[in-house]
Amino acid sequence: MNQAKTFFFMAVLTILFVWLGNLIGGRQGAVIALIIAAGMNFFSYWYSDKLVLSMYKAKPVTEAEAPDLYRLVKNLSQRAGLPMPKVYIIPNDSPNAFATGRNPSHAAVAVTTGALNLLSFEELAGVLGHELTHVKHRDILIGTIAATFAGAISFLATMARFGAIFGGYGDDDNGGGNIFVVLLVSIFASIAALLIQMAISRSREYLADEGGARISGNPKYLANALRKLDAYAKRIPFQSVNPSTSHMFIVNPLKGGGLASLFQTHPPIEERIARLERMTV
C-alpha cells in the first residue's frame, strides 16, 4: 500500500511539472517539460549520491580507519540481507546521519562525527538500521527524484508568475488567459509540490524506523537515539544545509517552527518515538 501511495505521489509530481510547462509554453512547453523531467531523473539516478556526499565533505573510511563503525555496518547489512555499502564520516559536530545511492548495490551510509561521539553502540545500531532500511526500500532514489521535481516545479511556477506579471505568458495560445488564473495556478503548484514531497518523505521515515528497529534487534535503541539526536541537533545546528537534501537525514537538520513546521519532510519526533515504543509492548 505504501509503495502504491509513493507511485501515485510521484505521478502527481510529474503531472504538475508537465502542467506548468503547458502553462508557460503551451503544448510545446509541456513536451519540453517532460523531456527535462526525464533528464532530471536520469541525472538524479546516476549522480545524486556523489553530489550529496561531496556537498557535506563526507570522507570514505575503511575497516582499518574506523573498525567499530565499519564492522557494525557490515553486521547490520548482513542481517538486512544487503550488500556492504560504502561507509562515510561527515566532519560535523551536529549529530545526524543519512544514506544515499541509487540501489542496494551502489549505496553509502554517512554518519557525522557528532553522532559518533554522542550515541552509544546500541543507539548507533538503531540509526544505521534505519538508514539501511532506506537502502533496502530504495527510498534514497525516490526521495531524490521527488526533491528534484519539487524544486523544478517551484522554479517553473516562479517563471509563470513573472511571465504573467510582465505579460509573457498571458495569452490563450500558451495556455494562460487570465493573469490571476496563472498566478493562482502557479502558487497552487508550488505548494502542492512541497506537500507531496513532504508526504512521500514522512511515509518512508515511518517505515525506515520500523525496519531499523528490527534490524538492530530492539526498538528502544532507535527510540533512545532519536531523543538524543533531536535534542542535540537543536543545540548544535547543522551548518550550511541545502534544504533540498534535508529529507535525507534521520532527523531534520533545519531549524523549524511555527508555520514552517507544517512543511517539514520529517514526521514529529514524538510520534516516531511513540511508534517505536509501541513495538516493544
DSSP 180-223: HHHHHHHHHHHHHHHHHHHHHHHHHHHHHHHHHHHHHT-HHHHH
> Which range, of 10-19, 126-135, 205-214, averages the lowest pLDDT?
10-19
Return all residues near 26 (Cβ < 8 A) that are at least 6 apart: 173, 174, 175
What does the pLDDT look like over 235-263, one tens digit per residue?
888 877 877 678 789 998 876 554 445 55
Q: Name the domain count of the chain.
A: 1
For 179-203, what is the mean pLDDT? 73
What does the pLDDT look like over 48-62, one tens digit per residue?
788 889 999 999 999
Can you tell me the distance from the alpha carbon of 73 to that of 63, in angstroms, rounded to the nearest whole number?
Answer: 10
What does the pLDDT look like over 257-278, one tens digit per residue?
544 455 577 889 999 999 999 9
The per-residue pLDDT for 274 is: 96
Can you tell me the distance from the alpha carbon of 253 to that of 279, in angstroms, rounded to the nearest whole number?
Answer: 26
pLDDT-derived band at 7, boundaries 50, 70, 90: low
* Buried/exposed code over 214-244 (b: 16+ C-beta within 10 A; e: otherwise): bbbebbbbbbbbbebbbebbeebebeebeee
User: What is the gyration radius of the CA atoms in the chain, in angstroms?
Assistant: 20
Can you tell me the distance from the alpha carbon of 220 to that of 262, in angstroms, rounded to the nearest whole number?
Answer: 27
Using the predicted structure, report yes or no on whether residue 13 has a pLDDT greater than 90: no
Using the predicted structure, report yes or no on whether residue 71 has a pLDDT greater than 90: yes
Name the amino acid, one letter, at 99.
A
Q: Whole domain around residue 55: which residue ranges?
A: 2-279
Q: Under a CB-based contact definition with an 8 Å cutoff, are residues 276 and 220 in contact?
A: yes
**Residues known to be catalytic:** 131
Question: Can you state the angle between helices 179-216 and 269-279, rounded to 10 degrees?
Answer: 30
Using the predicted structure, report yes or no on whether residue 127 has a pLDDT greater than 70: yes
